[in-house]
Amino acid sequence: MHNDALCGNPRLQVPLCAKQGGKSSRVKLVLAICIPIVIVSIILAVACIICRRRRIKDVENPVEKNSSDLGAAKRIPYYELSQATNGFNESNLIGKGGFGSVYQGMLSSGMIVAIKVINVDLEATSKSFDAECNAMRNLRHRNLVKVITSCSNDDFKSLVMEFMPNGSLDKWLYSHNYCLDFLQRLNIMLDVASALEYLHYGSSIPVVHCDLKPSNVLLDEDMVAHVSDFGIAKLLDEGQSITHTKTLATLGYVAPEYGSKGIVSIKGDVYSYGIMLMEVFTRKMPTDDMFAAELSMKSWINNSMPNSIMEVVDSNLVQLYGDEQIDVVLPHISSVLRLALSCCADSVEERIKMTDVVAALTKIKNEFTSMKETESQ
């Protein structure tokens, strides 16, 4: 009778029990402890799954981990490059040089590509790879070889590029199986001039190719020229017109200030272009044995102007057009060679700009095609 805490059913003559809050509090406490633990456990489990998948991917694609960035292009793993070239088999080899080797391959997508594999044992070629990646990262032009992606780690470095089925301009000039007519040569050199104009004035930072020559000009299925191999290219910072280098470019094509002082500028590319323009229409390399002592490519061309052009023109062109037609073509070749000489002035200031070169070649082309159309009528 005196137990005030006693409660229960009123019919037992005891007070009705109040609602029990202790059980509810205990449930809340348990939930407060368990819910965070469950959430943290789920987060840790998801993180472990992601890390495991990444480790598996790195094992499968070991060279993809440190790939050089060439923009938003999807990187191609090493194993796919190996499959595309039959394990970099010699039967897929299409070119070899001091930098390494170039292989033709077919990706799993069916795309045919050229895979430039860098010789990582040489420090110079490794730097060349980095320079080419830096130069090509933001460049987009129809007359530049498109670099699709790169693949790089300590043991393997490569560039995956669009394949050029017609090979190099060098092959077309010096092979006995081919002969380019005047308009083909003019179009190719106009393509190269357009690429250089873009590099010098069209990109966000001026780019100096530094190694322009026929073997670095590749031709697609339509004989459109694409400038390639930016292994020693230099990027001029904002406001910078020249820089210096100790890297030796190809002899015969190098501007005087490059060879003597290592000065690099866009006008150095103009000089190299002028030499190549002479070479394309004479089929004579600037390092030919005939150029010795006082005679150089420039002086040989200069001495032929304006009445002895026939003596320097590629004999294949003469045979192609015959004695009658070649006389019609010669004035246009003379205009091209005069333009080449203006590119190769010893003084940097006297050299023509690539924008003017494009304009001059376009004018020569229009005059030639108009003449041919008149003749056909």
**173 and 214 in contact (C-beta within 8 Å)?**
yes
**Phi/psi of residue 195, nearest 5 degrees:** -65, -45
**Phi/psi of residue 218, nearest 5 degrees:** -110, 150
Distance of alpha carbon 200 from the chain centroid: 15
| DSSP H helices in the chain | 21-60, 78-84, 123-136, 169-174, 182-197, 256-261, 266-282, 297-304, 315-343, 354-376
Q: For 350-370, what is each residue's pLDDT tens digit?
A: 999 999 999 999 999 999 999
CB atoms within 10 A of CB 98: 10
The structure tokens listed for 64 are 């993809």
The reported pLDDT for the residue numbered 212 is 96
The reported pLDDT for the residue numbered 148 is 87
**192 and 215 in contact (C-beta within 8 Å)?**
no
CB atoms within 10 A of CB 350: 10
Active-site residue among 4, 58, 69, 211? 211
Give the bridge partners for 101, in sequence order: 96, 117
The reported pLDDT for the residue numbered 60 is 44
**52 and 69 in contact (C-beta within 8 Å)?**
no
**192 and 119 in contact (C-beta within 8 Å)?**
no
The domain made up of 78-161 has a fold known as Phosphorylase Kinase; domain 1 (3.30.200)
The secondary structure of 131-172 as a DSSP string is HHHHHHTT---TTB--EEEEEE-SS-EEEEEE--TT-BHHHH
Q: For 239-258, what is each residue's pLDDT tens digit?
A: 667 887 777 778 899 999 98
pTM of the entire predicted model: 0.78
Q: Indicate the pLDDT class of residue 23, thresholds 50, 70 and 90.
A: low
Boundaries of every domain in the chain = 78-161, 169-376
The domain made up of 169-376 has a fold known as Transferase(Phosphotransferase); domain 1 (1.10.510)
For the annotated binding site, the residues are 116
For the annotated binding site for ATP, the residues are 116
Q: Indicate the pLDDT class of residue 21, thresholds 50, 70 and 90.
A: low
User: Looking at 2-6, 140-144, 197-201, which range is the least confident one?
Assistant: 2-6
The reported pLDDT for the residue numbered 367 is 95
Residue 34: burial class (beta carbons within 10 Å; 0-12, 13-18, 19+): exposed
For the chain, give the longest Cα–Cα distance: 141
The secondary structure of 31-56 as a DSSP string is HHHHHHHHHHHHHHHHHHHHHHHHHH
Q: Quick check: is 323 catalytic?
A: no
Q: For 152-211, what is each residue's pLDDT tens digit?
A: 777 888 889 999 999 999 999 998 888 899 999 999 999 999 999 999 999 888 999 999
- DSSP 8-state secondary structure symbol assigned to residue 236: P
CA gap 314, 307 in Å, rounded: 16
% of the chain residues with pLDDT over 70: 90
